[in-house]
Structure 1
Amino acid sequence: MPAHSEPATFTIALYPIHDAQHGHVADQLLYRSGASSDEPLEATAKALASTVYELGDAGLLGSRSLFVTLPLAWLDRPELLPTPAPRLAIAVAELSDINEALLLRLDDLRERGYRIIMPCSLFNEHAKALWSRTDIVTLTGSSPFNETLHQQLSSSHIKLYAEDVRSMEELAHCQAIGCQLFNARYLTRPQVIATTSRGKHGNRAAQIRLVRSLYEEDDDLQRLQALVLQVPHLHVAILRRANSAFFNRGGTVTDLQRAVQVLGLIELRRLILTLTLANLQPTSLLLLRTALTRAYMCRNLAAPFPALNPDDAFNTGLFSLMDALLEEERDTLLAQIPLPPTVMAALTERTGPLGALLQLCENHENQLAAGEDEVAADQLHRCYLDALVSTQSLLGALA
C-alpha cells in the first residue's frame, strides 16, 4: 500500500501598498505552491480563489485594490479575469517584449476597466506603444530611470510605483522623484496565509457538469442551482460573492437562488471556472447525501407551517453539515456566511422553530443509525422517506 502523503501547502502573501500619505490603499498578491505539479494557470487560480472569491470583502482585501501578476495564458481567457475590474491592477508574468498581439490584449483589459502595470525597463523601451495602455509603472532599485520620461510621467495619468523599498533613505528618494505608490517592506510585514487541499472539497463530477452547463445555450438556472448544491465549497463561495460590496446593492442575500440572480451568468462562469481550476478535491458522496437528505427533510417538515420559510428550513438542514463537508471549523465558517438570524440560531443553539425541525431530523437519523427494529411510520418518517426520494432524484438526474 502506498504511503499516505500530506496535502501540499499553498502559501499566499499580501504585501501592503501605501500612497504618499501612508494610507494602505492596495495589496500586492504573491503566492507559492508546494505542489510541483501545479501549472502557472492552476497556481494563479488557487491564489485568486482565496483572495478574491472565497474571502473577498469579508476577508483579506476589504475595500482595497489588488495588484496581481497573471500568466500570459490567462489573458487569452477573458472569462477567467477576476472582478471587480476597477479594483484590480494587472501585471503580466515574465513579460520581456512587446508585440501586436499583447497590445491588443492590453487594450481589451483596459476596455474592461482593469489597470495595467508595466515594469520600468519595458516602459522605457516601448514608451510610445505603452503610454496609453499603462496605468502604473513599477520602479525597483535596479530599474534604469529615464529623467526625461519621468518628467513626462509626472504630468500624466500614469502612477509610479516604488516596489520593495527597504529603507527610510530609499523611501525618501522615491518620494523625491515623484513616486505615488510604495511597497515599503521594511515598514510593514505581509499578511501570509497557508492553505492545503483540505477544506476545499467539491463533487468533481458535478463541477465538470456545472462548467459545461454554464455554456449551454438553453442554460437552466434551476439545473444550475441543483448542481451547485452538490458542490458545498462553491455554494459558500457564491453566497459570499453575492454579498460582496461590489455586487450587493442593498439587503443581505441568504439563499442560493437569489445569489445566482445577483451574480448573473458571466460572473458565475468566472467564479466557477476559477474555483474549478483551483483543483478542488472530491468530497464524501455519502456525507453529501446525508446533508441533502437532512435539508429536504427540514423543508418537508416546514411545509405545514405557513410562517416557516421553506428555503430557510432547507438551508438549516444543509448548513448543519456544511462544516463537515468542507472540513472547516463551524463557527469560523458560519461567521462568513450571511444566513438569516433564525437559521443561525437553529444551527448554533438549536433554538426557534427551525432549531426544533433540525433537532427532529437529527433524532430521527440517530434512531435509524442505532438500527432500531421498528421505526414508526409517522409523519416524521414519511418526511424522511420523501427527502430520500428528492435527494436521489437530484443526484440521479444530474448523473
Structure 2
Amino acid sequence: MPDSEVFLGRQPIVDRQLELVAYELLFRSSLENRARVVDEQVATATVLRHMFVDLGLVTALAGHPGFVNVGERLLMGPLLDAVPPAQLVLELLETIAITPAVVRRCRALKRRGFKLALDDLTELSAAHRKLLPLIDYVKLELPALDANRLAQLVHELKPYHLQLLAEKVDSREVFERCRALGIDLFQGYYVERPTVLSRQRSRS
C-alpha cells in the first residue's frame, strides 16, 4: 500500500516571560494551516492518534504538555479511557453542558492523572463554579471580553488557584494588559501562529 501523509497543527503557549510551556494540538487535514472540522469527535480522535502513534510524543510535544480540544461526546465516551494521561491537557469545549454527569466524569479523569482546561470562558456561571475545583487551566476568549469584563472575570477566578490562559493575544499591548491583570499564560498570533507538522505514514 502507498504511504499516506499525516498532519498535525501545533500552536505554542508561553508564560509571562514569553518562554514556551505547552502546545495546543490542532486538527489539520493538509499542509494548509486551517482546520476543516466536520465532526469534532473524529477530529480529536485523529489528533490523539497522530500525537501518540503517527508522530509520537517526542515529535509532537518535545517534552511539553499538549492541550487537546474535547467535546461532550468524546468526554463522555470510552476513547479517553484508553489514552495515557501523561502530558495531556483535556480542553473542555464551551459547548459542553456542565451537568452532574459531566462533573463526575471530569472527577474520574482527574483521578486517572489528566489535567483539565475550560475553553473560551467569557462568564462564570453556577455550573462553572461546581466544576472549577477540578480545573487546572481556564482559557479566556479575549475577543469576546472588553477590558472591564476581562478584569472582573480574572478577579472572580483568582480564588480558585488555577492558571489563567489568555488566547487570541494579537498584539504587545494586549499581552501587557493581560500580564498586568495577573494572567499566567498566553497564546495567539502575537506569540506565534500555528504551524503544521507532517510525516509519511505507512498504511498496512
Q: Deviations over 1:310-329 (max 9, x none)?
A: xxxxxxxxxxxxxxxxxxxx
Equivalent residue number for residue 71 of structure 1: 71
Distance 1:57 1:47 in 2: 12
Q: Given the alignment, which residue of 18, 26, 40 partners 2:14? A: 18
Distance 2:162 2:89 in 1: 12
Query: Across the two proteins, how many residue pairs are aligned to each other?
Result: 193
Equivalent residue number for residue 109 of structure 2: 109
Instruction: After TM superposition, give the deviation of residue 22 of structure 1 in Å.
Output: 1.6
Query: Which is richer in helix?
Result: 1
| 8 Å CA contact retained: 1:162, 1:182 | yes
Instruction: After TM superposition, give the deviation of residue 154 of structure 1 in Å.
Output: 3.0
- Matching of residues 180-195 of structure 1 within 5 Å: 180-194=184-198
TM-score of the two chains, using structure 2 as the length reference:
0.78
Any gaps of 5 or more consecutive residues in structure 1?
Answer: 1-6, 203-399
Equivalent residue number for residue 99 of structure 1: 99
Identity %: 26
Letter in structure 1 aligned against 2:143:
S
Distance 2:110 2:124 in 1: 17
Give the secondary-structure state (helix, strand or coil) at the position aligned to 1:101: helix
Give the secondary-structure state (helix, strand or coil) at the position aligned to 2:131: helix
Equivalent residue number for residue 87 of structure 1: 87
Are the structure 2 counterparts of residues 155 and 20 from structure 1 closer, same or farther at C-alpha, using a change threshold of 3 Å? farther
Instruction: After TM superposition, give the deviation of residue 111 of structure 1 in Å.
Output: 1.4
Equivalent residue number for residue 134 of structure 1: 135
Instruction: After TM superposition, give the deviation of residue 135 of structure 1 in Å.
Output: 1.5
Instruction: After TM superposition, give the deviation of residue 136 of structure 1 in Å.
Output: 1.0
Equivalent residue number for residue 122 of structure 2: 121
Give the secondary-structure state (helix, strand or coil) at the position aligned to 1:27: strand
- Alignment of 1:31 with 2:27, yes or no, is yes
Distance 1:184 1:142 in 2: 11
Instruction: After TM superposition, give the deviation of residue 63 of structure 1 in Å.
Output: 0.9
TM-score of the two chains, using structure 1 as the length reference:
0.43
Give the secondary-structure state (helix, strand or coil) at the position aligned to 2:41: helix
Are the structure 2 counterparts of residues 37 and 187 from structure 1 closer, same or farther at C-alpha, using a change threshold of 3 Å? closer
Distance 1:177 1:91 in 2: 23
| 8 Å CA contact retained: 2:37, 2:43 | no
Mark the structure with the bigger radius of gyration: 1
Are the structure 2 counterparts of residues 81 and 149 from structure 1 closer, same or farther at C-alpha, using a change threshold of 3 Å? farther
Instruction: After TM superposition, give the deviation of residue 126 of structure 1 in Å.
Output: 3.0
Give the secondary-structure state (helix, strand or coil) at the position aligned to 2:191: coil
Give the secondary-structure state (helix, strand or coil) at the position aligned to 1:15: strand
Query: Which is richer in strand?
Result: 2
- Alignment of 1:157 with 2:161, yes or no, is yes
Equivalent residue number for residue 201 of structure 2: 199
Letter in structure 1 aligned against 2:23:
D
| 8 Å CA contact retained: 1:41, 1:74 | yes
Distance 1:66 1:81 in 2: 17
Distance 1:39 1:189 in 2: 24
| 8 Å CA contact retained: 2:4, 2:201 | no
Are the structure 2 counterparts of residues 59 and 137 from structure 1 closer, same or farther at C-alpha, using a change threshold of 3 Å? same
Specify which structure has the bigger relative contact order, considering alpha-carbon pairs within 8 angstroms and separated by 6 or more residues: 2
Are the structure 2 counterparts of residues 164 and 103 from structure 1 closer, same or farther at C-alpha, using a change threshold of 3 Å? same
| 8 Å CA contact retained: 2:6, 2:54 | no
RMSD of aligned residue pairs (Cα, Å): 3.0
